[in-house]
């Protein structure tokens, strides 16, 4: 059963949570991915394992954390390690799914979080990779969560901070990257995947009330469209109740 009123943030959280399967080991960051991981663990994936960059492993927090080093994440954790240890898990191929943000993402799922414009004379200097390059290179799959705006979806990123499918088919493998690459891009307008042959971005669903024309107008490259294009399934009443219980003070999720 679905509830009529929900926000785009809530829909994005639910779409992200649906990418998590039970028993997955997930590298979780701050923001909507954290809420999505909490939601998945409370519903269809009770045995998924949350890994945080701070070194907290397999926790069962009761309240939303304000960052990956928040003591709230320690509750019920199997292990408290450190950054070096959890990135070692990535290198060993132990992470099933990682969540990523982006300032820009291009048609091959490459991410820029370093500069807007020329690297040496940038219009905007951004924070850089953090752990994103490691996650995108080494996790089995990644999910990108980003606002869908024309400036964020150029045909080619201004700077390649984090690899997607690089220049297309075979290029990840040629670069020696073991991860499968991006699986989904969840935006404020819809959910996108990648074509198995071309490695280009493909629209899989548009959010309720959004048209393909609106999505294309906010994208700097030609979008491919899945043959079974659908409307993104809305949150259920129970999912909305849990999201609002997980983040009651709107720390990350803008709610109705």
Confidence of residue 1 (pLDDT cuts 50, 70, 90): very low
Q: How far apart are CA 129 and CA 114, in angstroms?
A: 7
pLDDT at 171: 97
Q: Is the domain covering 8-246 a CATH 2.60.40.10 domain? A: no
pLDDT at 208: 97
Q: What is the mean pLDDT of the chain?
A: 95
- 213 is an active site residue: no
Higher pLDDT, 234 or 255: 234
pLDDT in tens, 122-171: 999 999 999 999 999 999 999 999 999 999 999 999 999 999 999 999 99
pLDDT at 49: 97
Higher pLDDT, 2 or 119: 119
| Cα 168 from chain centre | 20
Percent of the chain with pLDDT over 90: 95
* For range 12-19, the mean pLDDT: 98
Mapping DSSP to helix (H, G, I), strand (E, B) and coil, where does residue 165 land?
coil
* For range 39-45, the mean pLDDT: 97
pLDDT in tens, 192-222: 999 999 999 999 999 999 999 999 999 999 9
Residue 47, CA distances (Å) to 20, 38, 44, 138 in order? 11, 11, 9, 22
Q: How far apart are CA 164 and CA 193, in angstroms?
A: 12
pLDDT at 52: 95
Higher pLDDT, 4 or 26: 26
Domain boundaries, the chain: 8-246
Residue 190, CA distances (Å) to 25, 164, 170, 181, 231 in order? 25, 19, 27, 19, 8
| pLDDT surpassing 50 at residue 58 | yes
Task: Give the global pTM.
Answer: 0.94
Return all residues near 24 (Cβ < 8 A) that are at least 6 apart. Answer: 45, 48, 49, 96, 97
pLDDT at 57: 96
Q: Which residue among the candidates 53, 107, 141, 239 is catalytic per the annotation?
A: 53
Residue 213, CA distances (Å) to 97, 104, 206 in order? 31, 20, 10
Cβ 203 vs Cβ 226: under 8 Å: yes
| pLDDT surpassing 80 at residue 4 | no
């Amino acid at each position: 059963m679905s509830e009529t009123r929900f926000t785009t943030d809530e829909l994005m959280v639910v779409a992200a949570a649906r990418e998590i399967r039970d028993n997955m080991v997930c590298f979780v960051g701050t923001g909507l991915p954290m809420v999505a991981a909490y939601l998945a663990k409370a519903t269809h994936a009770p045995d998924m394992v949350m890994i945080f960059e701070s070194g907290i492993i397999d926790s069962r927090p009761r309240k939303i954390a304000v960052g990956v080093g928040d003591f709230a994440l320690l509750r019920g954790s199997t292990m408290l390690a450190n950054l070096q240890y959890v990135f070692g898990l990535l290198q060993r191929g132990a992470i099933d799914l990682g969540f990523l943000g982006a300032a820009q993402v291009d048609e091959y799922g490459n991410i820029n979080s370093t500069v807007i414009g020329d690297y040496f004379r940038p219009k905007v200097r951004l924070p850089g990779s953090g752990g994103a390059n490691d996650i995108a290179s080494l996790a089995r799959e990644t999910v990108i969560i980003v606002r869908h705006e024309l400036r964020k979806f150029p045909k080619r990123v201004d700077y390649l901070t984090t690899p997607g499918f690089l220049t297309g088919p075979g290029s990840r493998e040629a670069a020696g990257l073991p991860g499968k690459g991006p699986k989904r891009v969840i935006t404020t307008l819809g959910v996108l995947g990648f074509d198995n042959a071309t490695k280009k971005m493909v629209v899989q669903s548009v959010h309720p009330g959004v048209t393909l024309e609106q999505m294309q107008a906010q994208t700097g490259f030609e979008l491919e469209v899945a043959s079974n294009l659908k409307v993104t399934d809305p949150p259920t009443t129970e999912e909305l109740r849990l999201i609002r219980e997980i983040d009651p003070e709107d720390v990350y999720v803008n709610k109705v």
